[in-house]
Amino acid sequence: MVTPVIVRQRGEADIDACVEMALAVHERDGYPLYLPTDLHAFVVSADALAAWGAERSGEILGHVALHRRSAAPILAVAGKVLRQPPSRLGVVARLFVSPSAHRSGAGRALLDVASRDAAARGLWPILDVATGLHAAIAMYEKCGWKRIGELTVRFGEDTSLDEFVYRGPVSLKVSSCPVGVPPELGARRAVSRAQSVNIPKFDVGGPWPETHDGMADEILPKCG
Which CB, 75 or 97, lies closer to ligand COA? 97
Phi-psi region of 94 (alpha: psi -120 to 50; beta: other; left: phi over 0): left
Task: Give Cβ neighbours of residue 201 (< 8 Å, ≥ 6 apart).
Answer: 149, 150, 151, 152
CB of 182 to ligand COA, least distance (A): 34
Nearest to 119 by CA among 197, 183, 174, 74: 174
How far is it, in rounded angstroms, from Cα 83 to Cα 208? Answer: 24
CB of 102 to ligand COA, least distance (A): 4
CB of 63 to ligand COA, least distance (A): 9
Give the binding site for ligand COA (CB under 6 A): 25, 29, 31, 95-97, 102-108, 129, 133, 135-136, 138-139, 142, 223-224
CB of 13 to ligand COA, least distance (A): 21
Which CB, 5 or 204, lies closer to ligand COA? 5
Which CB, 105 or 177, lies closer to ligand COA? 105
127 bridge partner residues: 166
Phi-psi region of 193 (alpha: psi -120 to 50; beta: other; left: phi over 0): alpha
CB of 198 to ligand COA, least distance (A): 23
**Whose CB is nearest to ligand COA?**
107
How far is it, in rounded angstroms, from Cα 49 to Cα 27? Answer: 27
Which CB, 129 or 148, lies closer to ligand COA? 129
Which CB, 124 or 145, lies closer to ligand COA? 145
Would you give the distance in Å from CA 128 to the centre of its chain? 5
